[in-house]
Structure 1
Amino acid sequence: MNLPSWMDIIIRSFAMLIILFFLAKLLGKKQVSQLTLFEYVVGITFGSIAAEISTGLERNLVQGLLSLFVWTLVPFGITMISLKNKKFRDFIEGKPTVVIKDGKIQEDNLTKEKYSADDLMELLRQKNAFNIADVEFAILEASGDLNVMMKREKQPLTPKDIHLRVAPEKEPHTVILEGKILDEPLGLTGYNRAWLLTELEKLNVSLANVFIGQVDSFGKLAIDIYDDKIQLPQPQEKSLLLATLKKCQADLELYSLATRSADAKPMYERNAKKVAQMIRKAGPFLQE
């Protein structure tokens, strides 16, 4: 039975989509990188169809557009179904695969995903895990990306680990762009043009020479200038404050030793301890 040409195009396009999907699934996650399986299949097929239409190899424009329509409609429908059905989503997009568990490589899972030991080591190096003995858990996502959890003793130390309270940090605001002051983001920082120009004077930099300037949540101005040969002076306010606190502590301790007053001596000692405690808490934030 001879089918109409438009029906033949729809059937062939749908059949090729299914075939390419299973071929991509057979190749495994290594081939698709950050794309899902259907995104991978649709991407290469879109290019092929567009090439056929553009170069004139496919003389019937309507049939070519009809094929593109099928390749657009089917993935869209699959995406909508995937949002509602987890089993269908797992089948289409794939499921994460554990490749390291309790510090041990899962060789069977690696083989299943068609990854070699060299492939695994390359992915681990991309996560700054150069020693496999430091890895507690690693999972290969459906996108082909590897997520790694280091062993507890190899994880970076955080302020929470040492019971240190830190001030909340917000996103920096770009207040200078290509030599021009941006008043709206500058206002969000709580500062004005006068403050900004004063800070530039401290750095001995003209506004016209600033490519980008940003103010962080602590009120610190960081700039990048057009002339990279110019070395910008480093801000010293925090270092000077830390040095002043240390001098104050030393002076109080000296006064407590030098005084002959029975009432003044414990006062000096008590306040010296308070300043020392302040230095311990604020010191990490005042060191440049």
Structure 2
Amino acid sequence: MPIWTEIVWRSAAAVAVLFLLTRLLGKKQLSELNFFHYIVGITIGDIAGFISLEMESHFWHGVTGILIWTLIPIGLEKLSMKSKHIRHWFEGEATVLVKDGKVLEDNLKKTRFTSDELLEELRKKNAFRLADVEFAVLETDGDVSVLLTRENQPLTPRHLGIQVANEPEPQVVIMDGEIMDEPLATAGLSRGWLSAELEKLGVAQENVYLAQVDGYGQLSVDLYDDQLKVPKPCSRKLLWATLKKCEADLELFALASEDRQAKELYADGVMSMKRVVEQVEPYLKR
């Protein structure tokens, strides 16, 4: 067998083995790379490169080495889930860098963090003034978590005392011009409804690159042709405007009516409509 052919099949096999073992390691090792995972990744990559190009070595010996270096972190991960001591030993602990708006210089020295690096990490979290930071922690994966002081935190509906409903998960109903039946059924909708909505927008299904339906039944589409403009969904705004108009009409009828019984009936209708408006406001005014 020519050398280049052997290199090809060794490399392809090494890639396949690495892919399978990486899936075995799980997503956590990919997203949270601590010191131990860093060492394991370098070693496995070095072994994979060695068995791809070293013709005199036995291929399966290298695979065995990769397998061992994969099983070790999996075993340690299982142990760390049961023991806090082992977890701290292998993964380390979070270190507080800023507390109550004051920099902890001793902790900076322990983590080998300079003041410039600290300020850089704070700027990445949109904290350009140290005085605006209440708390900052260096996590085990090297990221810095920042808590701003209360007066510098962004406003939320909760701060304003506004009740907001939970946002339902949007469903992708068209992808690459093809209708996705399962997400459509999950949203409680049908192909007939989708066709009617596309007809309202004046677009054909095959011209739609991506279409999503939110939890309120509003359809948003992205077309292959970026030059074409599609009207934005406004069904919630229309419904809100209609409800407010009904409330205003009932108030007008109550004021204009001279019949006492009709006036009381309209007044009751106004109170009922107000309750309905208050109940649906968190869903419609988002």
Query: After TM superposition, is the score higher than 0.5?
Result: yes
Amino acid at match of 1:101: K
The alpha-carbon deviation at position 175 of structure 1 amounts to 1.5
Structure of larger gyration radius: 1
User: Aligned-pair RMSD on alpha carbons?
Assistant: 3.2
Match of 1:132 in 2: 130
Is structure 2 residue 101 aligned with structure 1 residue 103? yes
What TM-score, normalized to structure 2? 0.74
SS in 2 for 1:90: helix
> 1:173-224 deviations in whole A, cap 9, x for unaligned?
2221211212222122111111000011111110001112222222222222
Match of 1:51 in 2: 49
The 1:247/1:144 distance shift into structure 2, 3 A limit, reads same
> Any conservation in 2 of the 1:34–1:145 contact (CA below 8 Å)?
no
The 1:275/1:287 distance shift into structure 2, 3 A limit, reads same
Identity fraction in percent: 46
In structure 1, distance between residues paired with 2:70 and 2:249:
77
The alpha-carbon deviation at position 101 of structure 1 amounts to 1.5
> Any conservation in 1 of the 2:220–2:233 contact (CA below 8 Å)?
no
The 1:75/1:148 distance shift into structure 2, 3 A limit, reads same
Deviates more, 1:47-56 or 1:210-219: 47-56
1:123 to 121, 124, 130: 121
> Any conservation in 2 of the 1:213–1:224 contact (CA below 8 Å)?
yes
Where do 5+ consecutive residues of structure 2 fail to align?
1-30
Is structure 2 residue 142 aligned with structure 1 residue 144? yes
Match of 2:4 in 1: none
In structure 1, distance between residues paired with 2:69 and 2:281:
61
> 1:132-157 deviations in whole A, cap 9, x for unaligned?
33332222111112222233333344
> Any conservation in 2 of the 1:49–1:64 contact (CA below 8 Å)?
no
SS in 2 for 1:125: helix
Amino acid at match of 2:202: N
Amino acid at match of 2:206: A
Where do 5+ consecutive residues of structure 1 fail to align?
1-32
2:209 to 201, 211, 214: 211
> 1:200-250 deviations in whole A, cap 9, x for unaligned?
111111000111222222222222211111111122322222222333333
The count of corresponding residues between Structure 1 and Structure 2 is 256
User: Following superposition of structure 1 onto structure 2, how do residues 255-274 of structure 1 map, counting pairs within 5 Å?
Assistant: 255-269=253-267, 271-272=269-270, 274=272
The alpha-carbon deviation at position 160 of structure 1 amounts to 4.2
The 1:255/1:111 distance shift into structure 2, 3 A limit, reads same
